[in-house]
Copies of this chain bind each other. A is one copy, B any other.
Amino acid sequence: MLKGHLDAIVLAALAGEPAHGYAIIEEIRRRSGGVFNLPEGTVYPALHRLEKAGAVNSDWTTAPNGRRRRVYTLTPQGRASLDHHRDVWRDFARAIDTMMASGDPGAPLGDGPPWPTR
């Protein structure tokens, strides 16, 4: 379950350098430490959607081994979108962290700001 952050994750995976779909899936699995093991049926439609929205471009290429690959590149607009997603994520994560922290058996209540000061 990607919980609404699929676009952010895919864009983040492309932030370093262009990559083709299959490689993106592996990159996400690797970077997330195995937490995100996305099926192709999740990622490919997402890439098509992102391209339609102008966040990525794609080019068909032929790999050294002779296979056809569709390589996706982040557009400036896509990078801006990623930045936005980052902001949204920070707010979201902080909000959940706060919710989770309050009522934590190990956490004293009512002292200081409820945010974990990370």
Contacts and interface: CB of A to CB of B under 8 A. Distances in A.
Given A5-B96, A93-B97, A103 B33 contact: no
Interface in A4-34: 4-5, 8-9, 12-16, 28, 31-33
A32 B93 contact: no
Interface residues of A, number: 38
Interface of A: 1, 3-5, 8-9, 12-16, 28, 31-33, 35-36, 82, 85-86, 89, 91-100, 102-104, 109, 114, 116, 118
Q: Which 3 A-B pairs have the closest CB atoms?
A: A15-B103, A3-B3, A35-B95
Given A8-B100, A13-B103, A36-B99, 14 more contacts: A3-B3, A9-B99, A12-B99, A15-B103, A16-B103, A28-B99, A31-B114, A32-B95, A32-B98, A33-B95, A33-B98, A35-B92, A86-B100, A89-B96
